[in-house]
Structure 1
Amino acid sequence: MKQLFIVLLIVFLPISLLASPYSSSITLFLKGYMSEIEGKQDDAIEFYNMALLANPESAAIRSELALSYVKKGELQKAKSLLLEALKIDDSNRMVLIILGSLYSSEGNLKEAKAMYEKCISIDKEDTEAYLFLGSIFIAEKKYDEALKSYEKILTYDEENVIALYYVARLNAEMQKYDTAKRTYERVIEIKPYFIPAILDMAILYEIEGNFDKAMELYQRVVAIEPVNKKALSRIANIFVRKKEYTRAIHEFEKLSDIDRSDLSIRVKIGLLHLEEKRFDEAIREFNILLAATPNNDTVRLYLAIAWKEKGDLQKAKEEFLKVSPQSEEFLTALRNLTLIYIKTKTTEEGIKTFEALLENMKENVELHLMLATLYEEKEDYGKSIVLLEKAKIVEPKNIEILYQIGMLYEKKGDTDNALKYMEEILTIDNEYPNALNFIGYTWAEKGINLEKAEEMIQKALKKKPDDGYIVDSLGWVFYQKGDYQRALSELLKAHKTLPEDPTIAEHVGDTYIKLEEYEKGLHYYNLAKELEKKEEKKRNLEEKIKRIEDKKR
């Protein structure tokens, strides 16, 4: 078509013009144009430059030459030529449009807008200029202005699909979903196979929670384009959200068939098998992935978790230990290993493993914490404290470390040191609920500072209103203040939250005894004795039970 245009141009040029001084310029320009059509960009630039030498006042030659430079990525040369062309002819539309695009690519949106607005002042129905102007307003997040630009197009071209599409998208961005959907429907009515509009409308239905309608639209896209990855992925994700994992796997398998190189799809399939407790299938998927990417620590972690969930803790340990200490997944691997060592009663093995790791990771705080946990499991509280004190040197304001040290001192029976660490925590975060609760409960146990204790525990409860231990502390403060009815109310709430906790059950029993409801008191004492694992505390409960039974006789 372009070649036909050139032939006609030559045929109908006046003889006088061909004989004029500009004839060589026209010939060179046409040679440049033909070179451009043939993809010979360097030749085109050479001919355009020669044409410009022959006709130095031509804005048209400058604009074509500038466009060639744009195609080569030489934007500054293009910009200089366009600015020269604009001085010659400030209403040259091609110059204005290209220059607007260059300004936009530089981030100079003010100048870009000026170019497009100039186009519109010349032609009130310049659709391309309105579209470009709208895109700038979107970049500036001036959605109302962008909307006006696109709606202007619709005043003279009411079926312009691109303008309608952007009107719909802008309404969706402004959360005017009903208007957006109506406009998308108009787009699809005009152009039934316009996939971007169908996909966008489906996403709106997803946002609104109408998964069935969204699914219908995604399936319409797949009917038009069976290998549309976005539609297939959204269908799979809807099944995930609906917890229909087997159907989700089926859709992800289709996606994987389309793009074998996208290993993230196989990861999702493995995780869904894991969610469905199909451990062998999950393990197979993760092993295949690791064969392709042996250093993928995320997949290695998933494989370890799959073995753990299956119940093969030995294989789980082996895989967790393969996770690179430099990876983000190492922390999760450490925590899982710690739990496995405790569960399998192999804390000595865990201690040796973690101490070996610590040789090369002396500043790894999490490793210190997990090793301290294993020593705590052995009831070697002193060693745990030493490890955590080393971690504290690395991170002196790490509240988790300070809290664990405080709790270890409490387990050693050194309440004064425990309180010291809890108070240190409150200098870092005066609203840290666990420290507030610890201090408040400790004072309540001693029967001192009860008003301040209540204040601290109430403050902790604002942060963790459903924490059974903090509710128990509040109940115990009321108990120590002699307000047994309020104490009972809080302690029963705590027991409901933590029915397996022997101390809370004992507190409920103590309160019933104070209220002279001995049968209920005995019931909770007996329950506490059943739940209690420490022999000394069991003996104390037995003594309480005996005293009440003797009193009843």
Structure 2
Amino acid sequence: MREKKPNTILRAFAAAVLLVSAWIPALLAQQGTGRPKVLVLQPASALDSRIAEGFQWDLAKALDKSGYFDIVSEKDYDNFLKENKLTRGNAIPDSLLPLMMDTLKASIYTSGTLEQPDGRGTALKAKVDYIYPKNDYTIEGEQCSVGDEKNTAELAKQAIQVIIRASEKISALSIARSYFNSAIYDKALENYLKLLAIEPKDVNVHYMLGLCYLKMDSTDAAIRKFEEILTSIHPNHIPTLELVASTYFGRNDFENAMKTYKILAGLKPDEYQYTYGEAFALIKLERKDEAMEAFNRLVKIKDEDEKIRMQIGPMEYSRALELEQAGDTAAAQKHAAQASINFGRSAELSQKMQNPDQKMICDCLNYQALSNLKAGDRKGALESFAKLVALDPAYPNAYYWLAVTAYNDSNYTKALDYFNEAVKYVAVNMQAAIYQRIGQIYENRKDYSSATDAFTNALKTADASVKIRLLFQRGTTYYEWGNALDYATNENADMDELIENGQMSRARADQALALYDKAAADLQKVTDPKLAKSVGQHVENIGQLRERLNKIKQQIEYVEKTK
């Protein structure tokens, strides 16, 4: 007896992407007699074990007496059970069956059922399948019946008739498979055609003919044969659908590949490779929305491949950009949030790998952070950028985006720290933008000296169009600095008192005049018409402020003399 397992005419291949050449590693194990050897397993049955064992060995004797087969003896069977710490009545685990077949040199095993629905003394029924595991082939048994449990030998004789009748087919199959496994495909084709004359509707024979054509590089003939199977014999034949799908994909016929993988995915929704093939065929067809839906189905089946998440993330992000441009902000943010989830999951899966790809993890974190920004989640963006710079401080623009995010979040202290780090790692053409932001932060803090230094650094690498704006910013900062020194904007300032107590000195006035000179020099270089009005007002004010300062200096001189 073995663990009960559904039997099929042909077990499906592992996946369409697997090489066909890996299929069918060996032919039937043969004995000195030249006959296939059969391992007769105890049938699945709820009856008394003595009845089941009696039928098991009556079946073995009937096969032996037929002259067509050798059988595993009862002694060898029991010795194997003993060596593997099993007893009669135990199910043979599926995992142990290949070893059992190999050890006992069997090429066929039986899988059957034995039942007596109406109880002892009534009809005993059996059905026995004959399975060729190395050939992925099963001869389906027929329902047999005898009067009662005393006639197990007669029941066994009935149960072997199906394989006896198939002996001619088995012989032809063995020859054809032998040629196929030896890569003599023209001879294999010739024998499969003979086999087809015996069984014209046998889907397995048609399938093997298609494989022969494929191996002989007759791809068109192979596809015609596979299409014949699907249209006339077995429309849902999984192995054929797998090969058709992979063949179409290999020929860049992505439309038909996608359709075939879609059929497979419909037949087996939980089979990862089918939805995988469908998704990538859709990518090749540039049908991104459908591909995104297929990839989302894929990760629900199994979410262990970081590269799949990296397929979904960019598609979600791209969709967010399209919706943003179309003015649908809410929908754009929804897709950006999904992009962030996928990039984050890809980073998480990558980190679990035995040899994590640090570059890929950093890419994932970068894209996750950018997706968070699009989704309006600045906190999430800061967290992702922080993880990124912790892994790789030199990652392109990581510190820059971390700084920009903090700046837009009005966290200027952190923004300043991040900008000062960013300028160490970015390309030269990015330095001007960073120094400009640094200058703006210092200007807002009224740290005019640091602000003008930053704007000066920005001017060193800025292009012509940006320089105009930077000159305006530096000029107005010099102007504000001069205002701060000469108390021009302090409505409560009493100049007489300031001069009297020494807070307004000749040196301070000269410094303010020098700053106004620098401001005027910068502002006069600003040629942007949009800034012309502001520039004119500043320059006019500077003229007035100079006159005011010169008068203040005269007043300071007078005070100094009278003292």
- The normalised TM-score by structure 2 is 0.38
Q: Looking at CA atoms only, which structure, 1 or 2, has the larger radius of gyration?
A: 2
More strand by share: 2
Using CA pairs under 8 Å that are at least 6 residues apart, name the structure with larger relative contact order, 1 or 2.
2
